Amino acid sequence: MSKHKAAFAILLAGGLIMVSEPAFAQGARDWENVPVDTNILFLYYTYSNTEASVDLSLPIEGVSVDAHVPIARYARSFGIAGRAAAVQLIVPYGFVTARLDGTNLQTHSEGLGDVNAVFVMNISGAPALTRREFAAWQPSAYLTGSIGVTAPTGAYDAGSLLNIGKNRWMLKPQVSYGKYLGRRALFAVNGNVQLFTVNDKYRGDGRLQQRALVGVDGHISHDVGNGAWLSLDAVYAHGGTTKFNGVAQDNRQQTLRLGASGSVSLDPATAINVGFTRSVAKKDYTPTTTTFSFNISRVF
């Protein structure tokens, strides 16, 4: 095996590039109240480019990973004890390619991603309302809690360098707070913790453990005319150190991504959303990531 090819294999198998779980983040106004008995179908396309450095002694720049991820997301709202609640199901499918910059070496993987189910319930500020009641309701500050469970349904081959699924369960409790700044602006902040079970088939028969990963994302959005809004977005992740066969990898995350997003309504039931983020602060060993997302949603 050549020096270039060996470095490529080590980078991919070593888990320096985390592409096996397609990224999915809540948007600027995902937690606003909706009437009970509302169904929403979202169809997403997400593109992510991750750039990891290689040993500087090599005459190449690094590894680039391109992930194209269509996502289907379904949500249904209802009421519990007079509060708004909902369930969501998120199903990704990934097309991922990794290539060694400056060479012809590359590898590809595609398949179903890990399916995610989410239960959401408002704590304060978002009562359960019929569509008629909702039309006359004036929004106020809200506090909402949720818990998501990701199942290891994704395509996973213990002998492959690149996988779509992670071969482990993930639990994600989250709390979301929103406050309206006047009639046309909304400040929202979401805090979450991701908890992982063990992947006992990592690099064949290895054992991969990961500590809790804490995340915070904030959004300031403003209406632009009728049926459209723009948002400035920030996403921060901390923790998530991994162990391989009991040996700590010293790869704690401290990553800040900034970006912008927006939405426009095509009619009262259909909207298009776009978003963009990029890493602006991180540890030297953490790959730089750029993401672009597009989705169309339909209420029925």
- DSSP-based three-state secondary structure for 185: strand
Residues 253, 15: Cα–Cα separation, whole Å: 13
User: What rounded mean pLDDT belongs to the chain?
Assistant: 88
For the structural domain made of 3-299, what CATH number should be given?
A: 2.40.128.130
Give the pairing of strands 185-196 and 106-112: unpaired
Looking up tokens 């991504």, which residue turns up?
Answer: 257
With 0.85 as the threshold, say if the pTM is over it: yes
Distance of CA 100 to the CA centre of its chain: 25
Residue range 82-141, pLDDT digits in tens: 999 999 999 999 999 988 777 777 888 899 999 999 999 999 999 999 999 999 999 999
* Predicted local distance difference test score (pLDDT) of residue 63: 78
Residue range 161-172, pLDDT digits in tens: 788 999 999 999
Residue range 249-267, pLDDT digits in tens: 888 999 999 999 999 999 9
Please, which residues have CB within 8 angstroms of residue 183's CB and are 6 or more apart in sequence?
A: none
Torsion of CA 127, 132, 135, 141, to 10 degrees: 0
